Chains A and B, each alone.
Chain A
């Protein structure tokens, strides 16, 4: 990870081009043409302290003046927001898991426990054990997972790569933003996003997504969601710093017995070159509606063009053969 920062300028031209499509890319803002850009910023969403209050959703809607997009009762726990979309840039997921009650902290006999020692630890101290009940054990207890999802501001952002108008841009902060005065609503970014984040506002025609409060960043403010988060589940700051903080937090949780704690989207060498917004999760990513191994589609673009070229040549070849004067009756029988 860290050693890549030193080799950024020295790569050969082809290496540099490849790096623009996938793989570790230490400074996306500079590669996008920003000179003297500030440090790349991001979100670290620590779901282990999320209490599901949805203050982030509300703050985002308010600050960004996002229209209402449906009031439904879904039956999906307390999640009536359902998913990220054109008018939902923060989405709090609620997962209720039936687990073996005996494995939950509340079900254990705590009469011999030193509560002061416990208070210095974490409430979810045995959540790791609760995660995988033994075969045949009755799942008669419940644990709740909550997580505030957001645009990942990928290092290699497929939405940005495929945008034909240049409406989607990389900002000087390394974030990805739609220029609303340029977007013509072609919708290409929508199926391109490996996380299903960006979407089209049907009545408007254009696409919308989280800007990481670009307007606030310029004034030195943190994004509205992070500002509103009462438990610091949503942390904003320079990405490098957040990654260090996240690694420490996972270590801390593991020491406290929460073995299910893991980071998601923090690796600069993953399929999207690392996320600008990454997470600490307590279960598999797909439990939260996140793809387990997302890859930026443009990683394979050179191969796609190559195959299209072969196919195009094949088309010409077949047509040429069909027009050649034939001695026999080949193909025409």
Chain B
């Protein structure tokens, strides 16, 4: 509300950036708003529910992939642990989604239509199918009954799992929220990598050291991928990228980066020898993944709250469009 006081003076005309001289630069860096008020509505979602749902969906989806790998390569303890965590996580994820609804009693309306233009509709059907497979795989693994059906469910969950882990990035990106929409090319990679961090972290926590080799390798690869994807995303976002670096979102993203890196390195170096190191590394990876989702969520909220992130990118888009249309004018 800094503009309110001098609204009468120039309606929130603010100047950004330095005095780099040329007229064009000054014009571009300046932006106007209506009393500094947001243009967009920030999500009505509760961060605990929705960022939690992103995290749990990732943990479940990527976990099912690792569970199938563990089963196929003869790692029964790891497979059992991951199947259990995936079933629980997806149940928690669905519960968070329903809890966040304004009318939880109408949750079944999510399956009223099939709508490819709505990632939430696609996701609801995906969750329905995946949830059944993950639950079946878990039940069979824990009871030891119907092993053939259990294997089928394991394969089914591993097939749908990667979609469950990444569609949430599309869900976030398919909004007008600048920090999410403008990141729509990178966000799926951030989410996939973060999901792999969480699932490998869980595998490290819950499986014996001698079975967890692939989890350690996945953790290292996922950590590297997440750092790279996040870095590229923030760079490519330009001005909007600062929402991932400042304030609450910045704190969450930085802490997430430290936890993820520490977890992956710890697991890789010591996780093969020490069960304690594996558990600690895995826990750090899990926490890092969760914080990444909360960070992404908060960055989105921050980017919707400040009209700067709506106006400035749209203005520069218009400017480059008119330069394209009339190159002579910019020369």
Cβ distance A84 to chain B, nearest Cβ, rounded Å = 9
Q: Mark B42-56, 1 if CB is under 8 A from A, else 0.
A: 111100000000000
Residue in B closest to A186 when the chains form the complex, CB atoms:
B101
Beyond A142-B8, A286-B307, A333-B269, whether A304 also contacts B170 by CB under 8 A is yes
Residue in A closest to B42 when the chains form the complex, CB atoms:
A191
Beyond A164-B118, A191-B175, whether A289 also contacts B162 by CB under 8 A is no
- B109-117, B241-249, B250-258, B275-283 - the one binding chain A: B109-117
Beyond A303-B184, A315-B65, whether A96 also contacts B314 by CB under 8 A is no
Cβ distance A303 to chain B, nearest Cβ, rounded Å = 7
Q: How many of B's residues come within 8 Å of A, CB to CB?
A: 94
A331 touches B220 (CB 8 A): yes
B184 touches A307 (CB 8 A): yes
A311 touches B192 (CB 8 A): yes
Whether A124 sits at the interface, judged by CB under 8 Å, is: no
B102 touches A206 (CB 8 A): yes
- B134-142, B144-152, B210-218, B285-293 - the one binding chain A: B210-218
Residue in A closest to B213 when the chains form the complex, CB atoms:
A332
Chain B contact surface mostly: helix
Whether B261 sits at the interface, judged by CB under 8 Å, is: no
Beyond A96-B8, A98-B10, A315-B62, whether A322 also contacts B44 by CB under 8 A is no
Question: Could you tell me the distance between the alpha carbons of A316 and B100 in the complex, rounded to whole angstroms?
Answer: 30
Whether B268 sits at the interface, judged by CB under 8 Å, is: yes
A184 touches B175 (CB 8 A): no
CB interface residues, A 296-314, toward B, < 8 Å: 297-298, 300-301, 303-305, 307-314
Contacts of B315 in A (CB 8 A): 292-293
B37 touches A83 (CB 8 A): yes
Beyond A97-B11, A293-B315, A304-B174, whether A190 also contacts B43 by CB under 8 A is yes
- Beyond A298-B174, A311-B192, 7 extra complex contacts between A and B, CB < 8 Å: A77-B7, A162-B118, A164-B121, A289-B307, A291-B311, A313-B162, A314-B192
Question: CB within 8 Å of A: which residues of B?
Answer: 4, 7-11, 31-35, 37-45, 62, 65-66, 69-70, 72-73, 100-104, 106-107, 109-110, 112-113, 115, 117-121, 123-124, 162-163, 165-167, 169-171, 173-177, 180-181, 184-189, 191-193, 195-196, 213-218, 220-222, 225, 268-269, 272, 300, 304, 307, 310-311, 314-315, 317-318
